[in-house]
Amino acid sequence: MEEKRTVCVTGASGYIGSWLVKRLLERGYHVRATVRDPGDEKKVKTLLELPKASTHLSLWKADLAEENSYDEAIQGCEGVFHVATPMELVHQGQDGEEEIESTTLNGILSIMRSCSKPKTVKRFVYTSTTGTITVQPQPPLHEYTEDLWTDVDLCYELKMYGWMYLVAKTTAEKAAWKYAEENGINMVTVHPSIVLGHFITPHTSFSTDVATAFYTTNMALLKKIHRSPAVHLDDVCNAHIYLFEHPLAKGRYICPSHTVNLFEIAHSLGLKYPDRNIVTEFEGLDRSPKIIPCSSKKLMALGFEFAHKNKDVGDFCAEIIAQRNGFALMIEKLNFQIFELFNGLKI
């Protein structure tokens, strides 16, 4: 078998990053995985235990907030998959608004400058989100496409759930396209919506929180996905690799496979877990909302096929719930109830 090339994955310990590393190793790539703390055994153990890790994986210390931090890891790589984002700042709430934007923006530009130095990087693949597309003053009549850009001013005005994340990702992606054009970087962006499905990270993430919210009854999170598209983790990671390898890949690629109606997911999960008190009623939400699709036509026209398109999103969530079974789920539910109680007391 042909010996594959060396690539770098940022945010390799995360929900998406770790699965991407796993798939790249399986395809024979040598992977340089960046994490902020390679000594954090809890975070990196899963990566180090992956098949082929002993011969094909190396860990590199790098931080989005530090200029030149990625120089060494990227030196000599043919591809860079930039997955890292300061998600924990998003979870910490609105106080971190400026830091989220500056870390996301300065981070991507710093990584792109690192790509410009060695001249070995043939393609830069950035994990964006449908959130850099879908916030529009007037939604499109038929579908969201790659030509649209989220209206950042509208995010500031509406301050919807996770708005600072949407601002940061949109601002960063725009700046990245400008840098790519001015400096001859071959960049493609992947735009997943909510990513769900079985995973290998030991810690929780936005995706695992969304799936388990049906159990922990975190309504704020659930309402966020009422009309959201979704995609399986494995499909997202395979799409990243497909777009890296395809000679004709160019530009932005929307990547969901399913459009979600919260009531349908809840119903599907309720059938799978009849004894778990899955939330199935959502006060104030439309049971049959008009959903404007976020189309992955461009990705599919390039020949990509979603392997998980025949499952439903309830199946994706069930995979996560099954992994976070028993004790872990009980603790999450308890933590969330305590959080709600204190929130209530503050009011």
Ligand X SMILES: NC(=O)c1ccc[n+]([C@@H]2O[C@H](COP(=O)([O-])OP(=O)(O)OC[C@H]3O[C@@H](n4cnc5c(N)ncnc54)[C@H](OP(=O)(O)O)[C@@H]3O)[C@@H](O)[C@H]2O)c1
Of the pair 134, 268, the CB lying nearest ligand X is at 134
**Member of 74, 77, 83, 241 binding ligand X (CB under 6 A):** 83
In the complex, residue closest to ligand X by CB: 14
Of the pair 127, 261, the CB lying nearest ligand X is at 127
- The least distance separating ligand X from the CB of residue 340, rounded to whole angstroms, comes to 23
At CA 257, angle to CA 128 and CA 131, rounded to 5? 30
CA distance 93 to 87: 10
Burial class of residue 4 (count of CB atoms within 10 Å of its CB; 0-12, 13-18, 19+): middle
Closest of 29, 240, 4 to residue 125, by C-alpha? 240
35 binds ligand X per the rule CB under 6 A: yes
207 binds ligand X per the rule CB under 6 A: yes
86 binds ligand X per the rule CB under 6 A: yes
The crossing angle, in degrees rounded to 10, of helices 206-216 and 326-346 is 80
Inter-residue contact 15 to 40 (CB < 8 Å): no
Size of the site for ligand X (CB under 6 A): 27
CA distance 79 to 7: 5
- The least distance separating ligand X from the CB of residue 244, rounded to whole angstroms, comes to 16
238 binds ligand X per the rule CB under 6 A: no
**Member of 7, 8, 17, 74 binding ligand X (CB under 6 A):** 17
- The least distance separating ligand X from the CB of residue 316, rounded to whole angstroms, comes to 11
Place of tokens 């349908």: 264
Which residues are near ligand X by CB under 6 A? Answer: 11, 13-17, 35-36, 43, 63-65, 83-87, 103, 127, 129, 169, 192, 194-195, 205-207
